[in-house]
Amino acid sequence: MSEPVHQHIREFIVENFLFGDDDYELDNGVSLIETDLVDSTGILELVSFLEERFEIAVADADIVPANLDSIDRIAAFVARKRGEGQRLAG
Amino acid sequence: MCGIAGYCGDGVAPQDGAALLWRMGRELAHRGPDGQGSHVGRGIGLGHRRLAVIDLSDDAAQPMASACGAIRIAYNGEVFNYLELRDELVARGRRFRTESDTEVVLQLYEEFGPDFVARLNGDFALAIWDGRNRRLLLARDRMGVRPLFYHWLRGTLYFASEIKALMQVPGFSAEIDPLALDQIFTLWTPLAPRTAFKNVNELPPAHMMIVEGGRAVTRPYWAFDFPTPGDRASPRAEDDVAEELRALLEDATRIRMRADVEVGSFLSGGLDSSLISAIAARQAPGRLRTFSLAFDDPAFDESRHQETMAAALGTRHDVLTCRAGDIAAAFPAVVRQMERPVLRTAPAPLYLLSQRLRGEGLKVVLSGEGADEIFAGYDVFREARIRRFCARQPGSKLRPHLFRRIYPYIASLQQQTPEYLAAFFGAGADLPDDPLFSHRPRFRATAGAKLFFSRELKAELAGYDAAEELAASLPAEFSRWHPLHQAQYLETRFLLPGYILSAQGDRMVMAHGVESRFPFLDHRLVEFAARIPPDMKLRGLREKHILRRAGADLLPAEISDRPKQPYRAPESVSFAGRDGAYVEALMATPRIAEDGLFNPQATRKLLDKHGRGAVAGFRDSAAFVGILSTQLWLREFAGTATRKQSAQAV
């Protein structure tokens, strides 16, 4: 997985859910729900960010913790979606 | 209803006592605009501000002395069964000089000593000085309707209905209690006896304190509890339970209409206040006045149901329409009255409605508060039931859909997949025996707002867990109660007195010299409801089942069948307009940094997000209101000295 994707996602989360709090130790694998970083509104903000920043389409069925509950999972999800997009374009 | 203040000890010189009591009483003038009085003796001072409701004559003024002159009482509240108690005392040979309930309370003390308190059915905070043995008794009603705070300074006890009166004590220093702040930012309320002020305690509900020889003993005189599996009461038919409930509710309402002034009723449009209004309207045919809050934002407005109910009852109905800007404009005064930070704006509209009530000449109002606690009306009870249901089949894609059904008013939840619904409500779902099972998601979601605490405050609070302190305070038999009863206990014993009856209750109505009365909190009804089987309270996901049944014939079907809609007000969005212009200065980075409680950079970003109209989620909105109310608290009570300056001075 390319580091820039991780970095963009991390920056979004730190800025929007941690309000720039640099003290917070946010590992790439940590659950965003179990650490109470996102609530039901936050998930929708995250989806909106992913669609706009990475130009992917997120279906309702995609909005599950298996895809979006950590930086690693989000990055993998973005990569999959981009791959799907490229295959469709090709 | 009134305000009381006083001291017990040698810390006040006799020649200074009257002036101190006058200053303390002045801070309580809103609670008792109809008169004031004081008594100063050696080592004792009692002050009183009067709101005349029963026996309006000067004979009933306080502090009132016993016939022998040795016992004196300063009393805030109403004892609703005072006529029955008076008859009992007369039968024992006692004679009365006034028609007041105060004299009944005083003579009950003379007759039975401190344990007389358990005979009272009412809402009260009282101080009785017994000069015969130089003993002071402080006591507070069972459910915590009326407030009573105290402060020890160099061996002298100072007490008052509100903390602002204690601030008149020479040497008193107002400083915020970091543990209380943590509790508010987790549980919504400080855990009694703790208050937002360091060194100020509240007398917990259903407790008395006896001060003698400079020492104080505090003890409960009543306990709120539920049956355990060993309590084998014979099962009763639902009809019988509903009938007895109805009779108790009617009597609780009837005795709460005892007053020598007009009694009005709040009408939210929901089941509880509609029932109380319906019973009250029967007691005062054609004369009852009802008062409702409407919101210009339809997401919060219940006008349609209020109008239906008022028309059905034929009451003279008055509506106050609250705009978002009204909440912002009132909020500083609201924080001054609450004397604590809050995470919600909901108290503000009630402050404004009470102002309207008083403007219309009313001093007493009935309220439906308490029914959601004792008959299991809140969403949190249904939520806990669904969480247990989901936990039994963790992979189910169907069961989590039920969460949507109980929160139809939270738009973002309606758009979630079952996987996310299960995850959002999953906190602690794998620990069914956790005593806080029902409230874990709420506590965790609320505690998310502590993200904004400053690095220094986080370090100061390191290792402290407010939820664990709450869990450790639960009675031994708690673990043997039914899960619904455990959840009811948490709501009734903590959130009800700590938030609903204080920040959203007494303090908002008494700000305008209005007394609120709560028929559902009559202790006979509370004890009866605790013994009703859980399934009659929460039938499936239908809340307050038995109450609906008991009152069905009193209400239009539109009201009696209506699902619970929690009382809510617009939150951080209230401060977006011109009326909230003061927010910028209070939450400005240098100010936040100087006060030291919150992270200045994170607060700035929150403020910016607010400015863009993007603060929408529960945590961010709670944090916004919490930070703002804390900053208002500091400005109001800690004066110009910031928290850091105060710490340096110490």
> Could you give the ipTM of this predicted complex?
0.84
CATH code assigned to A3-89: 1.10.1200.10
Sheet holding B263-266, edge to edge: B316-322, B289-295, B263-266, B364-366, B515-517
Q: How far, in Å, CA of B4 to CA of A5, rounded?
A: 64
Q: CA-nearest residue of chain B to A36? A: B448
Q: Using the beta-carbon criterion (under 8 Å), do B606 and A19 form an inter-chain contact?
A: yes
For residues A18 and A30, give the distance between their C-alpha atoms in angstroms, rounded to a whole number. 14
High-pLDDT (> 70) share of chain A, %: 94
What pLDDT score was predicted for residue A1? 46
Q: Where are the domains of chain A?
A: 3-89
Q: Does A64 sit within 8 Å of B417, measured CB to CB?
A: yes
List chain B residues with CB under 8 Å of A18.
Answer: 451, 602
Q: Write phi, then psi, for B77 (nearest 5 degrees).
A: 145, -170
- Distance from C-alpha of B111 to C-alpha of A28, rounded to nearest angstrom: 71
Query: Would you call A21 and B601 a contact, using CB atoms and an 8 Å cutoff?
Result: yes
Strand arrangement, sheet containing B44-50: B35-41, B44-50, B2-8, B156-160, B149-153, B201-202
Q: What is the DSSP code (8-state) at residue B447?
A: H
CA A27/CA A35 separation, integer angstroms: 11
Residue B445 to residue A40, Cβ atoms within 8 A:
no
Q: Strand locations in B276-423, DSSP E?
A: 289-295, 316-322, 364-366
Closest residue to B424, CB basis, from A21, A33, A61: A33
Instruction: Parse chain B into domains and list their residue ranges.
Output: 2-220, 238-374+496-560, 379-449+467-491, 572-649
Q: What is the mean pLDDT of each run of 10 residues along chain B (650 residues)?
A: 92 95 95 89 94 72 91 94 96 94 96 97 97 97 98 97 97 96 98 97 98 95 92 84 98 94 94 97 91 92 92 95 94 97 96 96 96 97 95 90 90 89 87 95 94 96 97 97 97 97 94 96 98 95 96 92 84 91 95 96 93 83 97 88 50
| Triad B139, B84, B141: Cα angle to 5° | 20
Q: Which of A17, A18, A19 to mutate to test the interface with B (most CBs of B within 10 A)?
A: A19
B209 forms bridges with which residues in the sheet? B138, B218
Task: List all residues 6 or more positions away from B163 whose beta carbon is below 8 Å from its beta carbon.
Answer: B149, B195, B197, B200, B339, B637
Top CATH class of B238-374+496-560 equals: alpha beta
DSSP 8-state code for residue B166: H
Q: Which residues contact B354 (CB under 8 A, 6 or more apart)?
A: B365, B508, B509, B511, B512, B514
- Min CA distance, B351 vs chain A (Å)? 30
Q: Which fold has domain B2-220?
A: Glutamine Phosphoribosylpyrophosphate, subunit 1, domain 1 (3.60.20)
pLDDT at B232: 67
Q: What is the pLDDT of residue B262?
A: 93
> Mean pLDDT over residues A14-39, rounded?
90
Q: Which residues of A touch B452 (CB under 8 A)?
A: 19
Closest chain A C-alpha to B610 CA, distance in angstroms: 12
**How many inter-chain contacts (A to B, CB under 8 Å) are there?**
70
Judge residue B85's burial from the number of C-beta atoms within 10 Å of its C-beta, 0-12 exposed, 13-18 middle, 19 or more buried.
Answer: buried
In this structure, are residues B339 and B164 in contact, taking their beta carbons and an 8 Å threshold?
yes
Cα of B599 to nearest chain A Cα, Å? 8
Which structure tokens are listed for B566? 């929690």
What was the pLDDT predicted at B378? 95
Q: Which of residues 406-435 of B touch A (CB under 8 A)?
A: 410, 412-413, 415-417, 419-420, 423-424, 426-427
| pLDDT attached to residue B644 | 54
How far A34 CA lies from chain B's nearest CA (Å)? 7
Nearest residue to B324 (alpha-carbon basis) of B637, B627, B625:
B625
* Sequence letter at residue B73: I
| Beta-carbon separation of A43 and B412 below 8 A | yes
φ/ψ (deg, to 5) at B13: -65, 140
Name every chain B residue with its beta carbon within 8 A of the beta carbon of A65: 419-420, 423
Q: State pLDDT tens for residues A28-49.
A: 999 999 888 998 889 999 999 9
Q: What is the pLDDT of residue B574?
A: 92
Tell me which residues of chain A have a C-beta less than 8 Å from any C-beta of chain B: 15, 18-21, 23-24, 33-34, 36-37, 39-44, 60-61, 63-66, 69
State the pLDDT at residue B650.
39
Closest residue of chain B to A61, computed from CA coordinates? B417
Q: How confident is the model at residue A24 (pLDDT cuts 50, 70, 90)?
A: confident
pLDDT in tens, B524-536: 999 999 999 999 9
Q: Does B607 touch chain A (CB under 8 A)?
A: no
